[in-house]
Chain A
Amino acid sequence: MSSQDTPAVMAPAGGKTADKVFKGIAYACGILILVVLAAVFLFLFFRAWPLIGGDQAANSATISSFTGGKVSSFWGYVLPLLFGTVLISVLALLIAFFVSIGIALFISHYAPKKVATALSYVIDLLAAIPSVIYGLWGGLILVPAIYPFWNWVANHLGWFPLFAGPAANPQRTVATVAVVLAVMVLPIITSMSRDIFLQTPSLQQEAAYGLGATKWEMIKLAVLPFGKSGIVSASMLALGRALGETMAVLMILSPSVTGYSFKILQASQSNAIASNIAAQYPEADDLGVSVLIGTGLILFLITFVVNFVARKITEKASA
């Protein structure tokens, strides 16, 4: 085939290298996430190694010193912490989830446009408040302010095991921490869902309206299904944030040393892994740090499991 006959198909397209490089970078960034996570995992694993491969008597002694002699095995130490972490995070997510979706819908579909823009700013503002300030506010303002409410709850709904009284005063409890964490994760869910709800194709919304759907029915038919994947992602991010939150929990919660409890209105019932690490790390010796990092490793694994399960469930639900 002479060059003149060569169809234009063979004309090299400009930007091919850029295309390849770009793809390469995108791939590399994807892989980088894997590498970083593997590095974090290995780091945790090696720092926690003395727990497994080290002198078990010394381990027991270290853990005893953490717990005032109540517990000396690693599992006895970490499982209650894990329980508390999950309890706090799940409560926070439960509170935040519905409120967030509500606000996101309010902004995307209920409020008039001007108001909605203003409200969007408000939510961004909420997202912009740093966690140390939430810690300060939670510890200094919310704790005394919320006591009458929780006290009322304990007195009137105390039959429900979660709300068993008497409500601690000051309210440095799981319930209060969950509220603060809920406020902290709320903007994450809200902001992401709002952005997605706003993108719901108007074709689909009109399809619903055209069938005589009320606004709420339209939302159920068109907006929520469209936003589902985004809502799930946002909730997972929020849950991760709640699981890993350190400072706010540390500054508000009155922790327990060991033990499992659902009594969220009483003080010193539960503790969370991240804040426990922050509380113990500054004064911990080498072995102590290993124990703490071991608890971090467990949190890491649990986050993995929670996400894995959540993913499987949503996959099933959407299949």
Chain B
Amino acid sequence: ATVAACGDNTASTSSSSTSTDASKTAPVTGNYQGAGATSQQAATEAWIAGFEAANDGAKIAYNPTGSGAGVTTFLTGATAWAGSDKALSDDDLAKSKAVCAEGEAFDVPVYISPIAIVFNLKGVSDAGKHINLDAATAAKIFDGKITKWNDPAIADQNKDLTLPDTAITVVHRSDKSGTTQNFVSYFKDAAPDAWTYDLSENWPNEVGQGAKGTSGVISTVKQADGTIGYADFSQVGDLGTAAIKVGDKYNEISAEGGSKVIEDSPLDDSAKGDNRVVVKINHSTTADGAYPIVLVSYDIVCPAYKDAKQGAFAKAWLTYVTSAEGQKAAQDAAGSAPLPSSLTEKVTKSIEAIKTK
């Protein structure tokens, strides 16, 4: 009765029946909060739904305040975990000592999503066609060095398309964003000559137009002819996307393509600290079918909490999130790429380290 009064949607039977046997530990109860990256929002909503279905009596809220604010809040001890598009800094690590019952906080990847280059061009994107781009050309477009769609640099790679003489309008994020940082880090690694800016979460030049959030970028790209931008794969809709040159093939964007890059990427050994799993994305991968522009988003937790219940929750939460079932839920809800099995092992080991007593 209380459920109806609050307007809660009763958990869907199908997902709860499958999830109960997956989590073998005792069900978690109580209210838990997380905050952080907006990129994970859709996936996290699915995880919350799945987790609450499996743990009757657990109530979880995720506030998509942004990675920076999420980590800051986590470091005050107000949240059980943080979602973040970037790994913890040394500074953050040091601060986490005061929050965690023992040791330092650590981060594990939970969400991998390819970033699409989207465009809107009469005669091309509305005909359902894609274009091919290599890293240098894309970098030059986004740097305002290539200003026309029929520029030879583009035309040469797209012989089967007739490209119009339309001006290119670059659309980028106007807010500070993990998506931007992951996107331009691809240029920096794969076309260092064409992209000389410092790595930053802010868009570095004044080319084209800025728009707030992924939704802003998408709606701006849709609003005019000749626009090009970048956005999370799940938001592409019917816009045109670019196939990126990997080795000597042009690979279309796909969730699996994103996974393949991560599979082919080493761990970042500059990330010091116990249990940390930080991926150093290998942008120059030549793996077959790989799509190299990806965003990896992490969950940040403590190895031990002052409130043991929180530890139990964090452990159960991450276990569910990184499980095949959790990753499937994210894939369904957010179109993300699954964690490659090579990573899952390391992640599981880290999660084991969380103390629940």
Do these two chains really belong together in a complex? yes
Q: Which of B15-23, B61-69, B96-104, B290-298 contacts A (4 or more CB under 8 A)?
A: B61-69
Report A72 CB to chain B, min CB distance, Å.
11
Quick check: A284 and B212 within 8 Å, CB to CB?
A: no
Quick check: B174 and A255 within 8 Å, CB to CB?
A: yes
Q: Does A107 contact B (CB under 8 A)?
A: no
Quick check: B176 and A144 within 8 Å, CB to CB?
A: no
Residues on A with C-beta less than 8 A from B212 are 250-251, 279
C-alpha gap A266/B174 in the complex (Å): 16
- The interface bits of chain B over 221-235 (1 if a CB of A lies within 8 angstroms of the residue's CB, else 0) are 001100100000000
Q: Does B206 contact A (CB under 8 A)?
A: yes
C-alpha gap A170/B120 in the complex (Å): 12
Quick check: B211 and A172 within 8 Å, CB to CB?
A: yes
CB < 8 Å neighbour of A139 from B67, B177, B202, B219: B219
Residues on A with C-beta less than 8 A from B211 are 172, 254
Residues on B with C-beta less than 8 A from A206 are none
CB < 8 Å neighbour of A140 from B89, B205, B219: B219
Q: Which of B193-201, B264-272, B277-285, B314-322 contacts A (4 or more CB under 8 A)?
A: B193-201
Q: Does B175 contact A (CB under 8 A)?
A: yes
Q: Does A200 contact B (CB under 8 A)?
A: no
Residues on B with C-beta less than 8 A from A66 are 176, 200, 202
Q: Does A53 contact B (CB under 8 A)?
A: no
Quick check: B206 and A256 within 8 Å, CB to CB?
A: yes
In this complex, the interface size class of chain B, counting residues with CB under 8 Å from chain A, is 35 or more
In this complex, the interface size class of chain A, counting residues with CB under 8 Å from chain B, is 35 or more
Q: Does A315 contact B (CB under 8 A)?
A: no
- The interface bits of chain A over 276-294 (1 if a CB of B lies within 8 angstroms of the residue's CB, else 0) are 0011111111101100000
Q: Does B259 contact A (CB under 8 A)?
A: no
Report A291 CB to chain B, min CB distance, Å.
12
Residues on B with C-beta less than 8 A from A283 are 66-69, 175-178, 201
C-alpha gap A279/B69 in the complex (Å): 12
C-alpha gap A169/B176 in the complex (Å): 23
Q: In the complex, which of the residues B203, B212, B219, B223 has the most CB atoms of chain A within 10 Å of its own CB atom?
A: B212
C-alpha gap A169/B209 in the complex (Å): 9
Query: Beyond A65-B198, A139-B216, is A268–B206 a contact (Cβ under 8 Å)?
Result: yes
Report B41 CB to chain A, min CB distance, Å.
12
Residues on A with C-beta less than 8 A from B175 are 250, 278-280, 282-283
Query: Beyond A172-B209, A254-B210, is A282–B38 a contact (Cβ under 8 Å)?
Result: yes
Query: Beyond A65-B200, A251-B216, is A288–B68 a contact (Cβ under 8 Å)?
Result: yes
Quick check: B202 and A282 within 8 Å, CB to CB?
A: no
Q: Does B220 contact A (CB under 8 A)?
A: yes
Quick check: B68 and A144 within 8 Å, CB to CB?
A: no
Quick check: B66 and A282 within 8 Å, CB to CB?
A: yes
- Residue on B nearest A173 in the bound complex, by CB: B209
Residues on A with C-beta less than 8 A from B89 are 285
Residues on A with C-beta less than 8 A from B152 are none
Q: In the complex, which of the residues A169, A267, A283 has the most CB atoms of chain B within 10 Å of its own CB atom?
A: A283
Pairs across A and B, CB under 8 Å, 21 listed: A66-B202, A68-B203, A139-B216, A143-B223, A170-B169, A170-B223, A172-B211, A250-B175, A250-B212, A253-B210, A254-B174, A257-B202, A257-B203, A268-B208, A268-B210, A279-B175, A281-B66, A283-B69, A283-B177, A284-B69, A285-B91
